[in-house]
Chains A and B, each alone.
Chain A
Amino acid sequence: MAQVTVPIGPQHPSLKEPASFSITLEGERICHAGMRLGYNHRGMEKAAESRTFIQNIHLLERVCGICSHSHSTNYVSAVEAVAGLKIPDRASHIRTLIGELERLHSHFLWLGVAGHEIGLDTLLMYSWRDREPIMDILAMLCGNRVNYGINTIGGVRRDITPEQLQEVLKVVNQLEERTKYYVELALTDTTLGQRLAKVGHLSHEDAVRFGAVGPTARASKVDRDTRRDAPYLSFGKIEFKVITDDHEDVFGRTVVRVCELIESYKIIRQVIATMPDGPITVKAPRKIPAGEATSRNEAPRGENIHYVRSNGTDKPDRVKVRASTMANLGSVAKMMEANYLADVPIIIAAIDPCFSCTDRAVQVNDLSRGDSTVMSFKDLRKYSIEWYRREAGVDLGALNTKLAKRLAAR
């Protein structure tokens, strides 16, 4: 049978972030998949070198809008390790609490997206409804729904009152009941089972070989979780189960994520029950002594890695960010092999990809023009019309005018 290559993306139905996939088909079956990334490349690592250690907390928190706390915790932990700082236990507990709340809202978000990708929008409505109370709790504790701004070098910037902790417990209790229903749904619902089972298969061997992380790896029987294997923050004192599954497909990835919600509730309860009194920060030097550290953090999508090297000044010499999606992308092409074209959206979505995380690194300007400017919306629109006229032979400006006239004549 003749092979046909179908381009999917950079803008495509699978998710709202850009990534370009090149899918080669034999009939409806995928025989090869390639990808082109980099569309969200923003210059974070280069930018970090010209900012102070403190300024970088706010920069690196914006690597991702969903696991922002994971990235900022990862970064400040690396800086604290280089500086030899030990943060107070209360600060460690607060960081752990926010991290688990972040995992909850991320997994609920994914559950909704997965439902949407397979046409089960009821699940989207349910799970995004349940995500809202968590966002409200995060806003109450940190002042923001995302990009929480809670971390600083040496601890956290805001304390939590006993009343706020009670509010968290109230929401956790409510959500746990609903989550039990989702667990039952994931394990027994025929629609979900038939649509997701055997789709996007990734064997245990391939998951290890391609370096998959997080729920993607754990759904292929890879028993790895940084929270248990290399305990950070308060995880060394907390009991929880690392969820693994042996389905090795999208169904398994769904089971792992919904079951992880239950474990996160357990972690949050333990954190609140053992929240120590005391200070929330220690004094950190403005200039960080020369040294290097690698920091690891189990973000909702899997392990994030930050590396920080200091040269003894107030600015880092090098900051490296490796987000979990970057680790999981290696295995996506393998997951697609022998699946149907119609399964592409859910297979991509099943790693819970985040391309803004993946493509953090360097500011890109149009150097062919010899300078760099920040464009206004009007300039940007004009530039895009000119670009399409020049490069693609399409006059969007004329088409727009024509369309406007036609509409006005009706």
Chain B
Amino acid sequence: MSGASVLYDVPGPKARTRNLVYSVAGSLAVLALIVFVVLRLNTEGQLAPEVWNIFNNAGVRTNIRDGLLTTLQVFAVAAVLSLVLGVLLAVARLSDHRPVRWVATGFIELFRAVPLLITIYALWVLLLSNRESLGLAGNQPQFWALVIGLTVYNGSVQAEVLRAGINSVPTGQREAAYALGMSKTQVMTTVLIPQAVRAMLPTIISQLVVTLKDTSLGYIITFEELLFTARQMSTNIIVNGNDTYVPFIIVIGAIYVAMCLALSALANWIEQRGRRAKTGIGVATAGEPVTATDAMEVSDAVPDGPAATKD
């Protein structure tokens, strides 16, 4: 944010009055917007105490808790699997054997290019029609469709992030390891991947935030995660002749934003910590990895040291 102050002079007396006027006008505009929304919601009867009293109901609370736990469960399984898949795909894409490289590249490019929703939907249909032979009961087809879909998509993205990280490790590291007589596997697992993970950790965690947000796609394939549970309850619970979409969406939205903010804060903290340490390997910024779909473009997420050196 150091560039911002360059855009305008230090305000003099006249500019200070003008800025004050704009400040007041801007705040009033934002306030007016909020007041308008609140008033409209009030006339629609969405702010009545009875409507919000539903959250005192033990059943509603249990349902929200169960939905939250299901979301976290999907997130945990998909996060672990996507990281494992990401490491495998990154290593395969850097393999010396051409067929292995081709298969990995094809897999990554295909699943990165297709919308996640379409992958999840296709998997859901596939699992539903084969549920007997696979021995899936209840909501397991939805669960696995969501988990596998999230895994293949985020695994492909994590693979690209890791590959960028591995390529950013100075070549001297690899050469020194080979000179010591290490095998290819040893070089990869004990020298390259640890440094790549360390450099890319903020980006990896940012992608995990995306994974967490994308668990809400389970809503569309009728999987009972947080969003779907909330939607179902808001349709079923009628207060004063109104459905209760607004309170549920506000509460669930707050929960999602809080969860994602916590994870993003972790990524930012690690980025700042990495920037302080002077180890020679730059730590990537905590932004979401660039997911351009063409194979020619090596991911832009390559760490280029602290952001300050960019210009």
Q: Report whether chain A binds chain B.
A: no
